[in-house]
Amino acid sequence: NPWRTSGQELGECEDPGDSVLQGGGRQAESMGLLDAATAVDLLSGFASGVGVTVVGHPFETLKVRLQTQPEPPNHIYNGFTDCVRKTIQWEGVAGLYRGVASPLVMQLFFRSAMFWSNGAYVRWMMGPEKRPLSYVEYGGGGIVAWGACTAIECPLQNMSSQMQVGILRQKMDPAYVPEYPGVFAYAKGAPVKYGLRSMYNGVIPHLVRNSCGGFFHFGAFEYIRRETAKKKGVAVSDVGMGANLLGGAVGGVLFWTITYPADVVKSAMQGDALNEKERKYYGTVDTVKKLWKEGGAMRFTRGFSACLARSVPANAVLLTIAARVKEVGYEWAGVHKH
């Protein structure tokens, strides 16, 4: 069965259920080891969260600005390259990292929740017998991980989108003063004034994007690593950085290519006015209808080039760092025996 792994495929020196990225594959034999595995899962999320923010935030800034700018003839940017040029010209390189404080802090918790929940899922699926998982099941781990962390990521994305929209409005109207000058002011004031919607607007398309994309994100990563290990006749942990980077990049490209229309809907809703009287979109279905009316199918591809440019390096770094931290951490904690 090409969709199921086996001990032969993973190399003779490795437990056939072993998945360094996705929880180690070995059921901890005591509460101490279980705690160690959880700690390593969380640490891998912290480390990969820093890496993906440094690499990916400039692209995220460009993507959101392209997605949320006004329609022609009032648009500000004529595509990805023009957005890069104008952002640096008007704000300097620091403009690419505008609003990075919130994503950096939130990424630490977001990615930790992602890799912890995924690790817990895989350990549970393998059970006491430590059975090998199929690639479909590894993809299922991605659904669990991305679906669970939507609760953390959605507020992050709402804050980031509101900051980017405020910047665009200032470019169009120099007299405009944002209601919340920064992410921390937004986090403190918006939920009090506008309620939970200010943090969870667009949660439905957000969850759809994460759940569908998560399957391919983690599934592709495990598939490439394990098939490489099979061809080389080595353990998955010995496939090398190249295979990890490739797996992460492919997983990222699949995630965004498949789910990008949902992301456009999500961004439109999260960048909408907080005041109900000023809102443009009322729910997911209404947003889809209005976006389609604005530009048909092509409206759902706006900003895709920026997103794709981000997905390759960001996801390569994200999954490679997480895998490496888990490899070292599990071995140090005695969770693995190589």
pLDDT in tens, 115-155: 999 988 988 998 888 888 999 999 999 999 999 999 988 99
Instruction: Identify the pLDDT of residue 326.
Output: 87
Window from 9-13, 76-80, 162-166, 291-295 with minimum mean pLDDT: 9-13
Residue 181's DSSP bridge partners are none
Q: What is the pLDDT of residues 252-285, one digit of tens each?
A: 999 999 999 999 999 999 999 999 889 999 999 9
AA identity, residue 245: L
Report, as an integer, the average pLDDT of 21-31. 45
Ranges of beta strands (E only) in 33-178 are none
**How would you label 4-34 residue by residue, b for 16+ Cβ within 10 Å and e otherwise?**
ebeeebbbeebbbbbbbbbbbbbbbeeeebe
100 Cβ contact list (under 8 Å, min separation 6): 53, 57
Contact between 65 and 83 under an 8 Å Cβ cutoff? The reply is yes
Nearest-angstrom CA–CA distance, 72 and 86: 17
Q: In this structure, which long-range contacts are made by residues 73-78, counting pairs with CB atoms below 8 Å and at least 24 apart in sequence? A: 74/172, 76/168, 76/171, 76/172
Q: What is the DSSP letter of 283?
A: S
Nearest-angstrom CA–CA distance, 145 and 313: 21
- Mean pLDDT of all residues belonging to the chain: 84
Q: What is the DSSP letter of 128?
A: T
Residue 31 has pLDDT above 80, yes or no: no
